[in-house]
Amino acid sequence: MRLLLIRHGQTPSNVSGALDTARPGAPLTRLGHAQAQAIPSALAGEEVDGVYASPLVRTQLTATPLAQALGLGVRVTEGLEEIAAGGFEMRTDEESVRAYIETVAAWAEGDVRRVMPGGADGREFFERYDAAIRAIAAAHRPDATVAAVSHGAAIRLWASTRGANVDTLEAVQRRLMNTGLAALEGDPDRGWELVRWQSEPLGGLDLQDLVAHDVTGEPEDEATDEAR
């Protein structure tokens, strides 16, 4: 299977640097809608058989243009949601952002028993994300290509950890802008290989926002430096 994990388009919380992970979540900004509209053309060379999104509003809004272009529906899938911020929900201060990112980094390094303050531990994240990907894979033939719109920290951690050819520390070192892409090939039983990482928006750099405080999509040092 070819799995295209796409980060959602920009939201107001991405602009302000808020750790916005709870349901239903923020909608898209005007730029976020433009980023979503650019996805179908950017993926014109991919034979996408299914379009999935997390239960949060922003991923479904991002997935809709691609699904409509393909004549498909958006399949909302539990488990694809963002790494929950727990007690840091909607916080923008440096201390909270640093603690959130350090917890994600610890999970990447194998300390999955570490708990996000006020939230879950790494085992719970991997169990629910793995289950979501397994359910998606089970719904398609082995050589299918599927697109799943998910979230910045979740994609960075899962793709970097499950990609057998990737150093797990890259989970917090790689940038993933809104509508950036991680493409993996494989299956839940044999494992996955990361074959493409596109940091910038699928529609190109004209759709980036250089002044947003996008803490769940930026490398660790930049995210904490920009936190307010």
Catalytic residue among 81, 82, 170, 220: 82
Q: Is 220 a catalytic residue?
A: no
Task: Name the active-site residue from 8, 151, 170, 220.
Answer: 8
Q: Are the C-beta atoms of residues 90 and 11 closer than 8 Å to each other? A: no
Which strands form 74-76's sheet, in the order they lie side by side? Answer: 74-76, 48-53, 145-150, 2-7, 181-187, 191-198
193 is catalytic: no
CA distance 4 to 11: 21
E strands, the chain, are: 2-7, 48-53, 74-76, 145-150, 181-187, 191-198
**Residues acting as catalytic residues:** 8, 82
